[in-house]
Amino acid sequence: MLKLFTSTAYVSHHVTPAIRIRSSPVKSPLLNALTQLTGWNRSSHELGRRAFSSDSEGSDTNSSAIVSKPNLNDCLTLLALPLPHKPLIPGFYMPIYVKDPKLLAALQECRRQQAPYAGAFLLKDDASTDSSSSSETEEILEKLKGKELLNRIHEIGTLAQISSIQGEQVILVGRRRLKITEMVSEDPLTVKVDHLKDKPYDRDDDVIKATYFEVMSTVRDVLRTTSLWRDQVQTYTQHIGDFNYQKLADFGTGISGANKHQNQRILEELDVHNRLDLTLEVVKKEVQINNIQKTIAKTVEDKFSGEKRRILLKEQLAAIKKELDVETDSKSAFSEKFRERIEPNKDKIPKHVLKVIEEELTKLQLLEASSSEYDVTCNYLDWLTMLPWGKFSDENFDVPRAEKILDEDHYGLSDVKERILEFIAVGGLRGTSQGKIICLCGPPGVGKTSIGRSIARALDRKFFRFSVGGLSDVAEIKGHRRTYIGAMPGKMVQCLKSLGTENPLVLIDEIDKLGVRCQAGDPASAMLELLDPEQNANFLDHYLDVTIDLSKVLFVCTANMIDTIPRPLLDRMEVITLSGYITDEKKHIARDYLEKTARRDCGVKPEQVDVSDAALLSLIENYCREAGVRNLHKHIEKIYRKIALKLVRKGASAQVPAISDTKSLAKTDLESPETSAEESKTEQSGAVAETVENFMIDESNLSDYVGKPIFQAEKIYEQTPVGVVMGLAWTSMGGSTLYIETTFVEEGKDKGGLHITGQLGDVMKESAEIAHTVARRIMLEKEPKNHFFANSKLHLHVPAGATPKDGPSAGCTMITSLLSLAMKKPVRKDLAMTGEVTLTGRILPIGGVKEKTIAARRSQVKVIVFPEANRRDFEELAENVKEGLDIHFVDKYEQILELAFGYDKSVTWFHPLRKFLG
């Protein structure tokens, strides 16, 4: 819920509250002493300061307007903000991050209502948080709500002014001490508070005075040894006013390195003398630490003074050589090279990156060229300066041009092309195509990667592809830390450097096969930061250690199935499904795309080979049945490679003269040189002409080039056996048909049972059990005297037992197979069905309608049964896929019976069913 912006110390400058200070013209002794120490003149800063009085009840002012603020004593009901690391000391400010949207909205509402105050309370330690990391503490804070959060925070805290809110960052300024009295509301946590006042004390008491002056002296020692806090004095006095006993104690606590328990103890102490004693203890410890630090620094400095002197002399020698033009300084050459890279785009490079580059260039000049850190710094600067900061390629949102490119590169896929054109059209209206993550999902070989390339070509974006299949090391995405040997940035930084533009199209391949979480990190979480448009504007690579903007990158992902994609990633993607190609589409793709590519790659001329349509059709049906065309491309290349080999062999044999040609050769030698040359040319051209042969590839000789068929033609039974029914299945390679077979094993009273084989998964096993139950119920209702299922042991098998099978779409096929055996009646030979059946006989929808329809057409099936809920999916298919099919949509199993078995007078229970079906 909250995240500290800094945990090293409190800071009280860079805050912009516009509240007027009531200052006294008389300086306190400490302020006089500190003025001499820091050289700060209060009057010189009087006009330009931005300050507030810790207990001011007057009006707040700024340079442009006077805004009325409420009396601090009226702030009795406040939002409670838990602080995980340190309490907020009055007079200091603390930046925090508020992750809870409700709490952030409540804080913004307080600002709008001119009551910008909240209560800041330190989180208590327990067994779970005592040794937890910062991120784990933040996760615990996000889960704490209401009374649970109230019990986990200290009851004494600080009234905090909400100085500013920028996004999730809220700057709090401590004002005075508070104590929680009761809870008002739980989410966000709101409490009633009492304002605590210090206990009365005698200002002229000698002991208190002595303690005050000792604290003041010790604070001066801290400021003298630590320059970090010198500017803090003037800022604190601007905000708080002159030091008194209470404010000196708070100031000393704030600048000390005390832990949160000591700070909370001082915050809860209302006795001023005791508070000064506690403050004296922590600032004394700070002085001791500073003295130890100085001793260590002096020891190290003395130890390396000789080395420093040698380095200094070496630098002076290099400078002298450079002035005399004796040799070029390698450091200066490197620095000059890096500066030349950034100079043309210096205005476009982010300021935080420029700052890091300048710091590294300065560091490079101080390092020894032979040191290992020198090489690390050079490599780091090389990456920083080579990135295309502010460089973008011009996008092209011409929809007709994009449509032409997609049609050139791909055949069919009209629905996918239409969605991509919609995406480009929206980008043209918006002026940019960022903010979307497209996920192309489909079987292997359907053209997912090539569609990504086509999108890049249509948009005139540069293209970069990397695969995350099996990736488990987060460093591949977010880079290595520079402390490791051989460290490199992640893939995205490498992509930007190699392409030279900040808006490429990046294709992330096989995202459904992303590695699992392990010791090397969680790649899915790293990928989420990379892809999410809300996060990648400030993507942090571990190697660069500076944020880079990836919001202009267009990400296209590919996957074979979306079930294995992590849900947070999937929620941010727009999935476009590529179902695969039917036989006609494959034939056009092979003729218009694959054959031309294979011919060109093998160096064969078009007139030398003629592949018939029957050969292509046989190649598709008997060798390459998968949904994609990658395997089809391999087989066509195989044909052309064999033809290329035959052409080369024929050409080589034609160049070798035969023994029978000796007479002609002798005759040529006796004739004149001119005649011999002309006849030789004529004979050679004739020999070459004879070698140019046209190869005809048809169905009869196809096996000579690609071997025996892999698949046998899926033919339906001439007469379907009893107990055998054709079902439709979906696989990652596309659709297929499969027969479900049931046979009788043995009969005996009360021996009814079902044995299942075929390497079925848990879902299909459950479907078989449900099918057995539903079939028994139907027979019992329609023919009570038929005890076939009660007394018969049956065996249900799904062929291709070596192939694992699972899925929720075989229920109706199994019921029909069981009833066919019970009735001793075969089903229609040209019927295939798919759908899951519940115990009540209701048909549930299934997936893969297109793939299953294509599989049915390939098996010459004419009648298909689909669930009624899939009617819309079927109507969206192309007309050439639906052509010639008799489709029946059912929502109850009883509607399948007459389709499967037809009307039969011998089966008495068909009569009312026929009447029911009309």
- Residue ranges of the annotated binding site are 442-449
Residue whose pair of structure tokens reads 């009840």 in the numeric block: 57
Q: Is 727 left (phi over 0), alpha (psi -120 to 50) or beta?
A: beta
Alpha-carbon distance of 58 to 141, in angstroms, equals 36
Q: Which of 590, 640, 628 is nearest to 450 (CA)?
A: 628
The helix-helix angle for 305-323 and 272-303 (nearest 10°) equals 60
Peptide bond into 444 cis (omega under 30): no
- DSSP 8-state assignment for residue 553: P
Both tokens of 640, joined, read 């052309």
Both tokens of 646, joined, read 């035959």
User: For residue 4, which phi and psi values (nearest 5 degrees)?
Assistant: -70, 135
Q: Which of 118, 192, 131 is nearest to 160 (CA)?
A: 118
Task: Tell me the one-letter amino acid at 343.
Answer: E
Nearby residues of 153 by Cβ (< 8 Å), 6 or more positions away:
80, 82, 121, 122, 123, 124, 180
Q: Which of 286, 243, 250 is nearest to 268 (CA)?
A: 250
Nearby residues of 555 by Cβ (< 8 Å), 6 or more positions away:
437, 438, 505, 506, 508, 531
Q: How would you classify the pairing of strands 60-61 and 695-697? A: unpaired
Dump strand ranges (E) for 267-309: none
* Burial profile 88-105: b = 16 or more Cβ within 10 angstroms, e = fewer: bbbbbbbbbebebeebbe
Residue whose pair of structure tokens reads 């832990």 in the numeric block: 259
- Between the alpha carbon of residue 172 and those of residues 1, 139, 224, 274, the distances in Å are 15, 22, 28, 27
- DSSP 8-state assignment for residue 516: P
Q: Is 325 left (phi over 0), alpha (psi -120 to 50) or beta?
A: left
3-state secondary structure of 784: coil
Q: Could you give the residue numbers annotated as active site?
A: 809, 852
Q: Are 68 and 59 in contact (CB under 8 A)?
A: yes
* Burial profile 832-846: b = 16 or more Cβ within 10 angstroms, e = fewer: bbbbbbeeebebbbb
Alpha-carbon distance of 878 to 353, in angstroms, equals 53
- Percent helix, percent strand, percent coil in the chain, to nearest 5: 50, 15, 35
Alpha-carbon distance of 731 to 597, in angstroms, equals 29
Q: Which of 505, 512, 547, 546 is nearest to 527 (CA)?
A: 512
Q: Exposed, middle or buried: residue 48 (CB in 10 Å: 0-12, 13-18, 19+)? A: exposed
Q: Which of 642, 649, 653 is nearest to 611 (CA)?
A: 642
Question: Cβ of 672: how many Cβ atoms within 10 Å?
Answer: 8
Alpha-carbon distance of 869 to 836, in angstroms, equals 12
**Known binding positions for ATP:** 442-449
Expressed in angstroms, the distance from the first to the final Cα of the chain is 64
Q: Is 858 left (phi over 0), alpha (psi -120 to 50) or beta?
A: alpha
- Between the alpha carbon of residue 238 and those of residues 32, 70, 170, 216, the distances in Å are 14, 21, 21, 18
Q: Are 555 and 532 in contact (CB under 8 A)?
A: no
